[in-house]
Structure 1
């Protein structure tokens, strides 16, 4: 059985197409119950990630086909720039600390020598590391979902077929293939769903950071080697 790793992945949305196709998918996130718990082809791993890559390899083994990561964006996204000065006064290294998780995805991809990518909104990653390889909006991949689609986890917040704009960046390496776009119509301007998703609660953070399902399916179709 081929295997894939998904880092900082609470919802498992990016992993689902891989799991449905027969891959064994390891979803690492500190919000998962501590330990290793299998649900079909998805294995939830509740642990904090650090530079000791042997901890991951001891769980997954060495033969990994694909890696995707969602490092925490709170201290990096330019949408939160108004708070950067206050955060810097409390911790001058707050963004360097956040960048450790970004670079960890890169390091894990190189460690397993397989295609990898990570997702973040427009952020200071571009200046602290490098510019993204790709930029997309969720609606540009909505065509991978059915016309009568609705979101299985957050239908009151996320539009059917991911029909909303949100400029999203992808950093990638080791032969990751950015999938072909299949856009669906949207209203111009910003997504009205974000009016419902303000605040600092863990719930709204999880919804805001949920992977667009159309993009997840497109990534699988472009990168799976089964």
Structure 2
């Protein structure tokens, strides 16, 4: 059995990179991947959450799971457009979030610690309030370039450890920038806004990998 980390709705693979570097088998499932490929030691697999559960390959001993269900139709930052999006869009977004929860709590996830990420969203009303909240700037001690604000929520389970803030001392007194909300319209704006900050990624690994390796 191979120690494995699973990441759902993950295009970039940012969340699993520290785990891959530490020797874990890492698999990222997302609808934007084409077929199956391996880059930098990470496996990227096409998966449509509306069509079924991701299939974890045989021989995987899942030790950690993280999920990034799409927030386009749930984030309260876009509340003024909710009615125009219609019930189908809302239903699909809730279904994808539910797919993440169901996988994390399924036998396939092996009772591994898990986290599910979303910005401030209506999931807090439909399901339950998040367990943790952070800004990327909370972890500039791991990545200086992440000195920006974006309120982000985490729903967690099975012993997930939320890392303590680790802010770079050289940035003390400097206000985090607002690059996420200030991003101009473009074809890749959604991907830019949803990319996982590497500081948080490294902090999560540092807080959780010892337990996952046991």
State whether residues 67 and 115 of structure 2, in contact with CA within 8 Å, keep that contact through their aligned partners in structure 1. Answer: yes
8 Å CA contact 1:51–1:104 kept in 2: the answer is no
Partner Cα distance (2:11, 2:190) in 1: 11
Q: Distance in 1 between matches of 2:180 and 2:158?
A: 35
1:97 and 1:166 map into 2 onto residues whose CA distance is: 24
Write the distance in 1 (CA, Å) between the matches of 2:75 and 2:148: 19
The 1-side partners of 2:84 and 2:153 are apart by 26
1:50-129 paired onto structure 2 within 5 Å: 50=50, 52-53=52-53, 55-57=54-56, 59=57, 61=59, 63-88=61-86, 92-111=87-106, 112=109, 113-129=111-127
Q: Secondary structure at the match of 1:56?
A: coil
Q: Hey, what's the Cα distance between the residues in 2 that align with 1:212 and 1:21?
A: 19
Q: Could you tell me how far apart the structure 2 residues matched to 1:47 and 1:97 are?
A: 15
Tell me the distance in 1 between the aligned counterparts of 2:96 and 2:58. 19
Q: Confirm or deny: 8 A CA contact 2:74 2:122 kept in the other structure.
A: yes
Contact 1:5 1:27 in 2 (8 A): yes
Stretches of structure 1 that go unaligned for 5 or more consecutive residues are 150-159
CA contact (8 A) 1:23 1:41 kept: no
**Unmatched tracts of structure 2, length 5 or more:** none
Q: From 154, 162, 165, give the equivalent of 1:178.
A: 162
Residue from 179, 185, 195 that aligns with 1:199: 185
1:143-197 per-position Cα deviation (integer Å, ceiling 9, x unaligned): 013xxx5xxxxxxxxxx1x0011111011111111011102436437514542x2
The Cα of 1:47 is off from its aligned counterpart by: 2.4
Q: Point out 4+ residue stretches in structure 1 off by more than 4 angstroms.
A: none
The root-mean-square deviation of aligned C-alpha atoms, in Å, is 1.9
- Look up the match of 1:130: 128
The residue matched to 1:19 in structure 2 has which SS? helix
**Normalising to structure 1: TM-score of the pair?**
0.83
Partner of 2:163, secondary structure, is: coil
